[in-house]
Amino acid sequence: MDQAKEIRKGEELDWKKLEGYLRETMPNVKGEMNVAQFHGGHANLTYLIKFGNEEFVLRRPPFGKIAPGAHDMKREYRVLSKLYKHLPQAPRAFHLCEDPGIIGAIFVIMERRNGVVVRYQVPDNFKSFENVERRLTNALIRVEASLHNVDVEEAGLTELGKPEGFLNRQLAGWIKRWNLSKIEESSAMDEVYEILSSDIPTPQAVSIVHNDIKFDNCQFQPDNPDEVTSIFDWDMTTLGDPLVDFGVSLSYWPDERTNQFQGLPVMLRGDFPHKDFLKEKYREYSGFDLSNISWYESLAYWKGAVIAQQLYKRYVDGATKDQRMAAFGLSAKALAEIARLIARGK
């Protein structure tokens, strides 16, 4: 189970002010307020808020300077206040606080869901199941395809983004983030940007794009490796090309290319199926053509390099004391080199 723990040093909030605000805006809550923190994420801060026996989750951006468009709690609320009606794996958002004076940032209050998160390897409770890595993988890809097949208009989320020109904006937005976060020049990042910009695919569909579907953004019930029951971290969600999402999922999967580089964050350990299995299942569940998937996979690693660099720069600038962030400078370089390999067709 992913359990909430003590509050990390330096990540305390104004609990008294928060409690007063929540009791005023959520008058049905009763009992003493208690707080804890979920430690699994690397960016957004996620807390468990308890009023008696009722449990809620509070999510807010990290401390420090935030990159443009990142950690968007308004977007997360917009998605999760509606999507739960159309995708059971989407937790329901109850409240958006747009007043940064309460805890120092805009935040969302949403439902608490309990379950198991697969983080790096098969959890103990799943080890007795046959073919469990394959079953967990199949469940992950099936729910991703389900998200991409949600009817955007029926879900009331047509205002979530502008699909036209989506891939062009992806490139423009992420190169801007890179330029804001880089500490030194990178020929790999520059070359990938040029290759991707020179041959932008035509999207096959307009879908809800989560932008970070991976095992540790999902939750399973402890006795069922065949179905994802929750998906988390919706602050980057938009409308656009679903293969951008699938490319990101592929980029979390180790393969013969990622094994060449030092400094990458741990992806997965164990007997998980090859990336070809993911592609086969995604093609089956979504109905999309994957003949140009290398473009999307290169884009995903390139964006991953930007994210790693952003996290590293926050550490260098002193915006976080989280020691895990110190290693992300090397990770950013490795991810850029993998993106270049794939962009070159290797």
The alpha-helical segments, DSSP class H, found in the chain are: 15-25, 73-80, 132-148, 166-181, 187-197, 242-251, 275-286, 293-316, 328-343
pLDDT of residue 68: 58
Give the pLDDT confidence score for residue 3 in this predicted structure.
74
> What is the rounded distance in angstroms from the CA atom of residue 51 to the CA atom of residue 35?
9
**Structure-block tokens of residue 280:** 């086969």
| pTM, rounded to two decimals | 0.89
CB 58 within 8 Å of CB 49: yes
DSSP state of 85: G
For tokens 């996620």, the residue is 46
Q: What are the residue ranges in the chain where pLDDT is below 50?
A: 1
CA 189 to centroid of chain Cα atoms: 22
Q: List every span in the chain annotated with CATH 3.90.1200.10.
A: 124-343
Encode pLDDT of 214-230 as tens digits.
999 999 999 999 999 99
pLDDT in the model for residue 167 = 98
DSSP state of 337: H
Q: Show contacts of 220-224: CB within 8 Å, 24+ apart.
A: 220/115, 220/116, 220/117, 220/118, 220/126, 220/136, 220/139, 221/115, 221/116, 222/1, 222/115, 222/116, 222/125, 223/125
pLDDT in tens, 222-268: 999 999 999 999 998 999 999 999 999 999 999 988 888 888 877 89
The CATH number that domain 124-343 falls under is 3.90.1200.10
What's 84's DSSP letter? G
**49 DSSP β-pair partners:** 35, 56
- Supply angle C-alpha 204, 91, 29, rounded to 5: 155
Q: Give the tokens for residue 31.
A: 């009992």
Which residue reads 């509070």 in tokens? 58
Q: 240: closest CA among 191, 173, 311?
A: 173
3-state secondary structure 199-218: CCCCCCCCEEECCCCCHHHE
pLDDT at position 5: 85
Residues of the chain with CATH 3.30.200.20: 15-111
Q: CATH classification of 15-111 is 3.40.109.10, yes or no?
A: no
